[in-house]
Amino acid sequence: MKKTGLLNQPLSAVIAGMGHTDSLVIADAGLPIPPFVERIDLAVADGIPGFMQVLRATLGELQVEHAVLAAEIGDRSPALHAQILEALGAIPVSYVLHEDFKAQTEDAAAVVRTGEFTPYANIILFSGVVF
């Protein structure tokens, strides 16, 4: 049994299989997930698990080169936006309109659905390399 880090087997497996520039989406409960993209559904109830909990756990396992957020998050969910930027630290962030964000999820290795109900609580993480 794994004793540290991500305990969710499907999420751990997706991260282990990612290569440079592959993407992983962490999403709120309402983001539409393309039918052909792997869905890792962690949602149990409103806020369980929360977006930030899943993001922090994922950042502990995945080497992230850059991230993408919906441009609308700054106006609609400023507190969450600040928390995301703090968690990302020096990782570069770019912004796209929410409709473009949804289109980019089609290229993801997987979409991780959380129980988050905060508007625009979605992020695309692009994997880097550890060497």
Alpha helices in 5-126 (DSSP H): 9-17, 51-59, 73-76, 78-88, 98-104
Which of 20, 66, 81, 98 is catalytic? The answer is 20
Helix (H, G, I), strand (E, B) or coil at 75: helix
For the question of residue 81 being annotated catalytic, the response is: no
Classify strands 23-27 and 123-127 as parallel, antiparallel or unpaired.
antiparallel
**Residues annotated as catalytic (active site), given as ranges:** 20
